[in-house]
Amino acid sequence: MLIDHDRHLDAYLDQDAARRIGGLWTLAASSPRSLVHLPMRANPAPFRELPEVGTRQLDLVLLHHSLQFAPSRWKEVRGRLGPGRPRTVTLPDPDPADEAAIDHEARHYRENRDLFHQHLHAETLFMTGSAKVFGETARHFLSVARNGPGYVPVHPSYPHFCTELHSNDGVLGDAREIHIEYCDQWDS
């Protein structure tokens, strides 16, 4: 589930969803000519945290900035989408050394163009960025998939495992922060 809170966004994911989104985030990094659509609006809410009044659920689209896709065309394109065809994609395994190779200081230089930009249109959040920024941030989702299921049962008094794309990370250009939280219980 992806929720718009006006000033920030919240993503609530179970292990499978976090793994899939991490993989799709990696796909967006390795396939810059792809537009990746994640229809999330119809998903149930987390059991322990229902959305507050004034929030809305969103779908998500990941795309490389070089596509120059106009979000205003999304409603028309989405209306023409069919059921799709299952495809298999081979993605590189995440390498822990990749995190060490990230130049965190360079992210804060004025010349840094590897930033996410967001647009909202037709109940859909468009995350537009470079292959580099998608590749470097996929780890947030993979961390939730890897660490969330083991953390929550061991910490019953504070079962909150999360990470976020934070404004201080130097990856958000014209974009709001995204809080990514592991959830193991959902409404039906």
User: Which candidate, 5, 119, 109, places its Cα nearest to that of 53?
Assistant: 5
Q: What is the CATH number of the domain that holds 131?
A: 3.30.1360
- Give the total number of structural domains in the chain: 1
Q: How confident is the model at residue 87 (pLDDT cuts 50, 70, 90)?
A: confident
pLDDT for the residue 22: 94
Instruction: List pLDDT tens digits, range 11-62.
Output: 999 999 999 999 999 999 988 888 999 999 888 776 655 556 567 899 999 9
Where in the sequence is the domain holding 29, given as residue range(s)? 2-46+55-67+107-182
Q: Which two tokens stand for residue 173?
A: 């250009």
Top-confidence residue, 110 or 187: 187
Whether 84 maps to a domain, the answer reads no
pLDDT at 96 > cutoff 70 = no
Specify the pTM.
Answer: 0.84
Whether 148 maps to a domain, the answer reads yes
Q: Which two tokens stand for residue 97?
A: 């050394």
pLDDT for the residue 98: 55
Whether 25 maps to a domain, the answer reads yes
Edge to edge, what strands does the sheet with 162-165 contain?
56-57, 2-4, 9-13, 178-182, 162-165
Whether 21 maps to a domain, the answer reads yes
